[in-house]
Amino acid sequence: MNDFSPEILFSFVNYVHAPLFDDCEYAWDALPLIGKYLSTLKLGRIDSEIPESSILVNRNQITIEKGCTIEPGVYIKGPCYIGRGSEVRFGAYIRGNFIAGTDCVIGHGTEIKNSIFFNRTHAAHFAYVGDSILGSDVNLGAGTKLANLKLRRDEVWVKHKGSELKTGLRKFGAILGDGAQTGCNSVTNPGTVMGVGAASYPCANISGFVPAKHLFNHERNLIPIRDNHTGKLEV
pLDDT tens figures, 135-160: 999 999 999 999 999 999 999 999 98
Contact 89, 82 (CB under 8 A): no
Q: What is the pLDDT of residue 163?
A: 87
Which residues partner with 215 through β-bridges? 199, 223
Q: What is the pLDDT of residue 232?
A: 42
pTM: 0.95
Question: How does 185-219 read in b/e, with b if 16+ C-beta sit within 10 Å?
Answer: ebbbbbbbbbbbbbbbbeebebbbbbbbbbbbeee
Q: What is the pLDDT of residue 233?
A: 43
Percentage of the chain lying above the pLDDT 90 cut: 91
Does residue 97 have a pLDDT over 90?
yes
- Average pLDDT of the chain? 95
Give the Cα separation of 25 and 84 in Å (integer).
29
Q: What is the pLDDT of residue 228?
A: 55
Query: Sign of the C-alpha dihedral, residues 124, 7, 195, 199?
Result: positive
Nearest to 64 by CA among 98, 109, 13, 36: 98
